[in-house]
A and B are shown apart, each in its own frame.
Chain A
């Protein structure tokens, strides 16, 4: 498992976490390159189906990250996102995806450092879990 490099998908809100990721880049903070960012206008638009699709296509982890409570540019999209993550955390582990593979964080636009740390932590955690079952098996 030494050379296992997980693939992560991060759905990041345009107004905060995406900006934080950008800031991390321009500040030359290093973080693992395992993550593919998908910029969305708000975490409230991340339908559970996209998270499920990502997992079934074999990603090892999914991060959804948006504005802190009170800061959502669409007022409450992040609160709706939190309920959907709660829902997914009931469904995905039930079918063998460990709960740690799905994360929700609030990372503000100026938190480049926190963004880099979050990705580092997530990659490290998922390395210990190993590759997702969807990578190994024939999925229908």
Chain B
């Protein structure tokens, strides 16, 4: 059922071709706006932008290795309540997976959005991107995609992808309405677009693009990339586990944390409207701090740092998509994502769940079965697993 069509590329200018494709979508009767990363006129910033005027597509750049935020949060904002119009959203695969989690949590709806997943070339950390983009962000993007797509790699000018992207095993979207394919394609001649849903197919049909078949090289290229990423991921997770396996090590790991909660603000799947850590629940009486200090002789202030991180792990790790925005947001360069992914892998596996995999799978902590997990009840000395 999937329809595959081509978008012509001339002069290796992928951005021009993508803009043309987006313009055609925007000119469709039923699509009123496109959400897509765009260079702002100011300061080389690349931010999600909601474009309604085709002439404002100039500056749109879904290939820039910039990832200032997980735009699932924006799509959630645009779709949480009815808008009365259809929007197309150009997203990275981890943004789509996060959005799917938000839809399950009733913080977004799919009815009025066409999800367009673009093959993800990866992104640099915020600080690295600014340095890399220099004075000419558009030119920097060209250097980036040419390097990646010709196999010269993601490392340019001594900068490499964010750790989350280096360990990302989902570079291609699987829950989109339409995907834009870059990997394994003669990209100086054409790109491909494919429908993954009925809605996506309806949109593509209206565009009257020339149909084509997916080149066999594409599957192989993607498989090789996923294998390499998975190996990196496993190495990263093993290292992280060893580096955080007890409280002493966790204390070292998060020693520079100032409880600013930026990582939670940046997290696309931290779904609470009001996080318990900004309420008074754990806002202790002044005298309590003195009691704690007296008991141990010294306590680090602010307190409750590991408590915050471990609580967040309990609350959202089953929905973690590994996008790395937590690390990106940390003012003290703490590798937050690594710890969260390492725990997320275990908690998601425990419930046979994978964040963002399928819109019909219930979030593990929202449901239960009557006959399950008997092994966690009772006093028996089970457990081959030692701490």
Contacts and interface: CB of A to CB of B under 8 A. Distances in A.
Interface of A: 48-49, 52-53, 56, 69, 76, 79-80, 82-91, 93-100, 103-106, 118, 121-122, 125, 133-134, 137-140
A24 B347 CA distance: 37
A49 B251 contact: no
B282 A53 contact: yes
A90 B343 contact: yes
A104 B377 contact: yes
Given A53-B307, A82-B372, A48 B254 contact: no
18 contacts: A49-B307, A53-B282, A86-B376, A88-B314, A90-B346, A90-B350, A93-B386, A95-B244, A95-B247, A96-B247, A96-B387, A98-B387, A99-B383, A100-B383, A138-B299, A139-B247, A140-B251, A140-B257
B213 interface: no
A9 to B, nearest CB: 15
Contacts of A56: 304, 306-307, 310
Given A82-B372, A137-B251, 13 more contacts: A48-B311, A48-B314, A53-B282, A53-B311, A83-B351, A86-B376, A90-B343, A91-B313, A91-B314, A99-B382, A99-B387, A125-B379, A137-B248
Contacts of B364: 83, 87
Nearest to B318: A87
Contacts of A85: 373, 376-377
Contacts of A118: 379
Contacts of B247: 95-96, 133-134, 137, 139
A87 B307 contact: no
Interface in B245-285: 245-248, 250-251, 254-255, 257, 276, 282
A41 B338 CA distance: 37
B365 to A, nearest CB: 6
A85 B304 CA distance: 21
Nearest 8 CB-CB pairings of A with B: A96-B246, A48-B314, A79-B368, A49-B311, A98-B387, A140-B305, A140-B300, A99-B383
A135 to B, nearest CB: 9
A84 B350 CA distance: 11
- Counting chain B CB atoms within 10 Å of each CB, the highest count among A48, A95, A106 belongs to A95
B32 interface: no
A35 B246 CA distance: 25
A56 B307 CA distance: 7
A91 B310 contact: yes
B42 interface: no
A83 B367 CA distance: 9
Interface in B347-387: 347, 350-351, 364-365, 368-370, 372-373, 376-379, 381-383, 385-387
Contacts of B299: 138
B368 A138 contact: no
B315 interface: yes
A79 B364 CA distance: 12
Contacts, number: 129
Given A82-B373, A85-B376, A133-B246, A125 B307 contact: no
A53 B304 CA distance: 8
Interface in B227-257: 241, 244-248, 250-251, 254-255, 257
B179 to A, nearest CB: 33
Contacts of B377: 82, 85, 104-106
A94 B365 contact: no
A12 B351 CA distance: 25
B343 A94 contact: yes
Contacts of A99: 382-383, 385, 387
A49 B305 contact: no
A75 B315 CA distance: 23
B314 A87 contact: yes
Contacts of B315: 48-49
A118 to B, nearest CB: 6
Given A52-B307, A95-B250, A83 B383 contact: no
Nearest to B248: A137
A138 B300 contact: yes
Interface string B325-359: 00000000000000000110011001100000000
Given A82-B376, A96-B245, A133-B246, A139 B306 contact: yes
A91 B383 CA distance: 14
Contacts of A138: 251, 296, 298-300
Contacts of A53: 282, 307, 311
A97 B318 CA distance: 20
A69 B311 CA distance: 27
A105 B298 contact: no
Interface in B102-132: none
A98 B342 CA distance: 18
